[in-house]
């Protein structure tokens, strides 16, 4: 309790840089205000860690960056599909709402996977359960693509 | 016109067009859950394109970083907000309409939709 | 020029979102439209502020994005558990 862990020190450094980038002023008063708010946030984080019980730490890695790039690409593809669906009355709008069985286990993987599905337009996670998600998709194809499981493989490969 | 300006113009124009697409989709889609998808369209692609177009026009300064922060913030909060809305709608007894909804004349107000708007 | 066109597109989208917000039909549709309106406001502040050369407009846009997110979450929490007979653990809608 009385000492700062390595984890806290890293967050402190990130927050300090963040403050400097956002403020851009280097007068004594503003630097002092920055120090106070950074320390306040650290104090709050330490309190929250105690309640949380099993803190999960995710640090940016190359694997994560690669995954985000791949996610960006699939988001763009899904957006083009959805934009065509909006403008072209001939393309059908046939929403489906069904369960998607998943084998992701850890909370971080689940969070990442569910959020990735929601972020991709055309598919939406409405509920997260132990071994399956409820997915609402604007077309059957979107759901089928998820069932093929490329996104899931990529999430699992990160090993979070 | 330099390459930078050209890229910026392309980003702004395409972003604006996709933004409109999302707005039209919001009006055209038949039920709440499909509208969520249309709203996601404007937030996941139109907003980043517009902000990137803006970044390409700006001078090199701290403001660039702030635009990037806005971009990251929008992309990071969008799934959470979307999921919160979908889950609240489901728990509020709002069932998704399934099947072929392409025909706009099918649009009828559900009894449950009317009751939930009286809050 | 392109900046002006983008601002116009954002403003038209805001009008479309407002139409959806007024039309409903459910409270969730209205909130979805309001959330979209908020995001578009952020874009409008960022683009318009740059075009009109406002002072520190990006801080306002950043703040607006934060407030928009928190307000959406808060309102949706309210609607989710408005019916108090249904606790947080209930899985009301799933079939």
What ipTM, to 2 d.p.? 0.79
For chain C, say whether A98 makes contact (Cβ under 8 Å).
Answer: no
pLDDT tens readout for residues A69-88 = 998 898 888 888 888 888 88
Residue B103 banded pLDDT, cuts 50, 70, 90:
low
User: Of B23, B30, B33, B32, which Cα lies nearest the Cα of B117?
Assistant: B32
Nearest CA-CA distance, residue C87 and chain B, Å: 10
Q: Is the same domain home to A83 and A152?
A: yes
User: CB of C24 within 8 A of CB of C15?
Assistant: no
A146, part of any domain: yes
Q: Is the same domain home to A97 and A154?
A: yes
User: Of A133, A81, C83, which Cα lies nearest the Cα of B86?
Assistant: A133
Helix, strand, coil % in chain B, rounded to nearest 5: 75, 0, 25
For chain C, say whether B25 makes contact (Cβ under 8 Å).
Answer: no
User: CB of B42 within 8 A of CB of C13?
Assistant: yes
**CB-CB neighbors (< 8 A) of A124 in chain B:** 33, 36-37, 40, 82-83, 86
Q: Is the same domain home to A77 and A148?
A: yes
**pTM for this entry:** 0.81
Tally of CA atoms within 13 A in the half-sphere of A16 that contains its CB: 11
Report CB contact under 8 Å: A21, B62.
Answer: yes
**CB-CB neighbors (< 8 A) of B36 in chain A:** 124, 136
Q: Is the same domain home to A71 and A36?
A: no
pLDDT given for residue A59 in this prediction: 74
| For chain B, domain boundaries | 3-92
- Going residue by residue through chain A, which has 160 residues, state the pLDDT in tens, using 9 for 90 and above: 445 677 778 888 888 888 888 887 778 888 898 889 999 998 888 888 777 766 666 777 888 888 889 988 988 888 888 888 888 877 777 888 888 888 777 888 888 888 888 888 888 888 888 788 888 888 888 788 888 878 888 888 877 7
Report CB contact under 8 Å: A95, B65.
Answer: no
Q: Is the same domain home to A17 and A94?
A: no
Angle separating helix axes B47-57 and B3-28, nearest 10 degrees: 160
Boundaries of domain holding A48: 6-52
pLDDT tens readout for residues C34-70 = 999 999 999 999 999 888 888 888 888 889 999 999 9
Mean of the pLDDT values across residues C1-21? 89
For chain C, say whether A131 makes contact (Cβ under 8 Å).
Answer: no
For chain C, say whether B54 makes contact (Cβ under 8 Å).
Answer: yes
Calpha distance C72→B36 (Å, rounded): 14
C49's CB contacts (< 8 A; 6+ apart) are: C57, C58, C60, C61
Mean of the pLDDT values across residues C3-31? 88
pLDDT tens readout for residues C65-93 = 999 999 988 888 887 776 555 445 444 44
* C-alpha of B114 from chain center: 24
| For chain C, domain boundaries | 6-80
For chain B, say whether C83 makes contact (Cβ under 8 Å).
Answer: yes
Report CB contact under 8 Å: A83, B18.
Answer: yes
For chain B, say whether C66 makes contact (Cβ under 8 Å).
Answer: yes
User: Of B13, B10, B33, which Cα lies nearest the Cα of B21?
Assistant: B13
A57, part of any domain: no
pLDDT tens readout for residues A41-63 = 988 888 887 777 666 667 778 88
């Amino acid at each position: 309790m009385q000492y700062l862990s390595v984890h806290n020190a890293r967050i402190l450094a990130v927050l300090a840089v963040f403050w400097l980038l956002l403020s851009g002023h280097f007068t004594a008063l503003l630097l002092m205000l920055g120090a106070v708010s950074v320390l306040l946030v650290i104090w709050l984080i330490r309190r929250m860690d105690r309640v949380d019980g099993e803190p999960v730490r995710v640090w940016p890695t190359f694997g994560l960056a690669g995954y985000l790039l791949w996610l960006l690409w699939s988001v763009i593809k899904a957006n083009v599909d959805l934009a065509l669906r909006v403008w072209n009355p001939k393309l059908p709008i046939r929403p489906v709402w069904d369960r998607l069985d998943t084998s992701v286990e850890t909370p971080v993987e689940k969070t990442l996977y569910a959020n990735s599905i929601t972020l991709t337009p055309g598919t939406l996670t409405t509920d997260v359960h132990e071994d399956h998600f409820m997915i609402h998709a604007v077309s059957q194809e979107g759901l089928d693509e998820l069932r093929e499981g490329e996104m899931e493989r990529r999430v699992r490969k990160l090993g979070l | 016109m330099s390459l930078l300006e050209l890229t910026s113009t392309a980003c702004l124009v395409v972003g604006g067009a996709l933004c409109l697409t999302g707005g039209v989709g919001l009006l055209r889609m038949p039920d709440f859950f499909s509208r969520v998808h249309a709203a996601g369209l404007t937030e996941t692609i139109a907003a980043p394109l517009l902000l990137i177009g803006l970044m390409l026009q700006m001078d090199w300064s701290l403001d660039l970083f702030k635009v990037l922060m806005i971009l990251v913030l929008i992309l990071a909060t969008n799934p959470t907000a979307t999921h919160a809305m979908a889950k609240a709608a489901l728990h509020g007894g709002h069932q998704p309409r399934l099947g072929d909804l392409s025909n706009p004349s099918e649009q009828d107000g559900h009894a449950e939709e009317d009751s939930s708007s009286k809050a | 020029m392109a900046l002006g066109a983008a601002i116009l597109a954002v403003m038209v989208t805001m009008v479309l979102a407002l139409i959806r917000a007024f039309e409903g039909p459910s409270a969730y549709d209205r909130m979805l439209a309001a959330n979209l309106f908020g995001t578009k406001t952020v874009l409008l502040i960022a683009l318009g502020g740059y075009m009109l050369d406002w002072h520190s407009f990006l801080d306002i846009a950043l703040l607006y994005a934060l407030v928009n997110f928190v307000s959406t979450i808060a309102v949706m929490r309210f609607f989710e558990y408005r019916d108090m007979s249904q606790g947080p653990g209930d899985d009301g809608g799933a079939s």
